Chain A
Amino acid sequence: MIDLPWDFTAIPRFFPGFYAAALLTLQITFFGILVGLVLGLVTGLMRLSKNPLFNMPAKAYIWVIRGTPLLLQLMIIYYGLIDLVSIDRMPAAIIGLGVHNGAYIAEIFRGAIQSVERGQREAALSLGMTESQAMRRIILPQAFKRSVPPLGNQFIIALKDSSLASAIAVRELLLRARQMGSSTLMMLEMLMIVGIYYLMMTTVLNLLMGRIEKRLEVSDYKD
């Protein structure tokens, strides 16, 4: 039998030592997604506006965010804001992840809104509803429902991307693993531990999104 250079019994032993870091990962992800959802909805609606005053900034924002790496965005926000307002790492990570996801979520919402049949808006208007009533009461509820599967996907990406916050020294899972790895000289074992944490969290998130999709199915079209 080959003697492996790793001690995998360290995994259960050190596993509980990552709770705090996992909590930080969850916090960055949760609040990052929250910021992303708000930004995404506003940007998505602006992007659909016919007025260039609204749609041009939205397009520019999406263009910049999708065209540059998240790692760079996080660093620019952290090192940029720290000069201005001496921002903490944690809020910088949340803002960074939020702004990044906002662009992607905006595109998800835009696609979902555009996928609602034109006749829905027309039926709403023909009842005497205003454009904004039609959007709020008729189009958005249907669009939100259609956004759930792609949003679930985006949330999982956001959860995994939160590991990039380690680059601005937020002690979330990945940074914690590297620090523990250095101090215990068991780098691979520590990385495996955070791998398990991520897998557990993405699995729960997946199940949660599946649950929500199921619940929204009550009014689904047969045809």
Chain B
Amino acid sequence: MIKIRGLNKWFGDLHVLKDIDMDVSPKEVVVVIGASGSGKSTLLRCLNFLEFAQKGNIYIDGVEANAKSKNLHTVRADVGMVFQHFNLFPHRTVMGNVIEGLTQVKRISYKEAVEQGEDLLKKVGLSDKADVYPAMLSGGQKQRVAIARALAMKPKIMLFDEPTSALDPELVGEVLQVMKTLALEGMTMMVVSHEMGFAREVGDRVVYMDEGSIIEEGPPSVIYSNPKNERTKAFLGQIL
């Protein structure tokens, strides 16, 4: 589904991604962990072309895309993204947020879009919030709307950039629950998150990144219980 080869990215002099090679298979759930500044979010943002790597190749569903690609926006439409700070459109209602991509990018009729929007809001448990503005929602509700908004495009893969880091602890569960359901339904997912419970339950693979490189990867049971690399051990010791 995603193939990354020799990806390198610099911010000025800072080498933030170093020769990243990675594959994500269809229906796979990959959880990326690592300290802040390890490059994990940047990697995710490169996959949605919100950042451009200077070197290396990215293939989405077999098709290479980069900064020069003509139809970058159509590539992005196939890659759903959920942000740490939700980034809901504050001037649109919940329904307006969910159908924005349907009416503007997929160009389906408003009526049809609303029908799909209703299904999506039901899926994330927010049918009763369709007509309110994001300002009226809790963080957990906002993030669930953001997930529905991304799902509306029927993406081939969903990227989650620390989806629960900005939430109050009691609101984390409801968002993880939606993500788990998605994973069990067979969505291909790449999740930057330190939620170990989530990773253990639905994650197929955990990738540990440090200083722009992939240090270690493997099934959650192995990475969390029996990491081989010293840096992985040290990092897990800090977060667990």
Residue positions of A touching B, CB distance < 8 A:
117, 119-120, 122-130, 133, 137-138, 141-142, 145, 218-223
Return the contact of B89 from the options A123, A133, A222 (Cβ within 8 A): A123
Closest 9 CB pairs of A and B: A128-B77, A127-B101, A123-B87, A119-B87, A126-B81, A128-B105, A219-B133, A221-B135, A128-B76
Flag if A125 contacts B87 (CB, 8 Å): no
Q: Please indicate the chain B residues that have their CB under 8 angstroms from the CB of A218 in the complex.
A: 133
Q: Please indicate the chain A residues that have their CB under 8 angstroms from the CB of B134 in the complex.
A: 219
Q: Please indicate the chain B residues that have their CB under 8 angstroms from the CB of A123 in the complex.
A: 81, 83, 87-89, 146, 149
Whether A138 touches B48, Cβ cut-off 8 Å, given contacts A127-B100, A220-B135, is: no
Return the contact of A133 from the options B83, B104, B149 (Cβ within 8 A): B104
Interface size on B, residues (CB 8 A): 31
In Å, the complex CA distance between A219 and B150 comes to 21
In Å, the complex CA distance between A125 and B87 comes to 12
Flag if B89 contacts A120 (CB, 8 Å): yes
In Å, the complex CA distance between A218 and B133 comes to 8
Flag if B83 contacts A129 (CB, 8 Å): no
Residue positions of B touching A, CB distance < 8 A:
48, 50, 73-74, 76-81, 83, 85, 87-93, 100-101, 104-105, 133-136, 146, 149-150, 153
Q: Please indicate the chain B residues that have their CB under 8 angstroms from the CB of A138 in the complex.
A: 89, 100
For residue A114, give the distance in angstroms from its CB to the closest CB of chain B. 17
Residue of A nearest to B152 (CB): A127
Flag if B135 contacts A127 (CB, 8 Å): no
Return the contact of A120 from the options B50, B87, B136, B149 (Cβ within 8 A): B87
For residue A139, give the distance in angstroms from its CB to the closest CB of chain B. 10
Could you pull out 10 A-B pairs where Cβ atoms are within 8 angstroms?
Answer: A120-B87, A122-B50, A123-B146, A123-B149, A126-B81, A127-B104, A129-B73, A129-B100, A138-B89, A219-B92
Whether A219 touches B135, Cβ cut-off 8 Å, given contacts A119-B85, A120-B87, A138-B89, is: yes
Q: Please indicate the chain A residues that have their CB under 8 angstroms from the CB of B153 in the complex.
A: 127-128
In Å, the complex CA distance between A223 and B105 comes to 30
By secondary structure, the A interface counts as helix
Flag if A142 contacts B90 (CB, 8 Å): yes
For residue A129, give the distance in angstroms from its CB to the closest CB of chain B. 6
Residue of A nearest to B81 (CB): A126
Flag if B89 contacts A129 (CB, 8 Å): no
Residue of B nearest to A130 (CB): B73
Q: Please indicate the chain B residues that have their CB under 8 angstroms from the CB of A130 in the complex.
A: 73
Q: Please indicate the chain A residues that have their CB under 8 angstroms from the CB of B133 in the complex.
A: 218-219
In Å, the complex CA distance between A15 and B81 comes to 64
Flag if A125 contacts B90 (CB, 8 Å): no
Name which of B76, B80, B149 has the most chain A CB atoms within 10 A of its CB: B76
A120-B89, A129-B104 known, 17 other contacts, Cβ within 8 Å: A119-B83, A119-B85, A122-B50, A125-B73, A125-B76, A126-B50, A126-B150, A127-B76, A129-B73, A137-B100, A138-B89, A138-B100, A141-B91, A219-B93, A220-B135, A222-B135, A223-B135
In Å, the complex CA distance between A223 and B88 comes to 14
Flag if B101 contacts A128 (CB, 8 Å): yes
In Å, the complex CA distance between A141 and B80 comes to 24
In Å, the complex CA distance between A213 and B88 comes to 22
Name which of A119, A123, A127, A138 has the most chain B CB atoms within 10 A of its CB: A127
Q: Please indicate the chain B residues that have their CB under 8 angstroms from the CB of A223 in the complex.
A: 135
Flag if A127 contacts B50 (CB, 8 Å): no
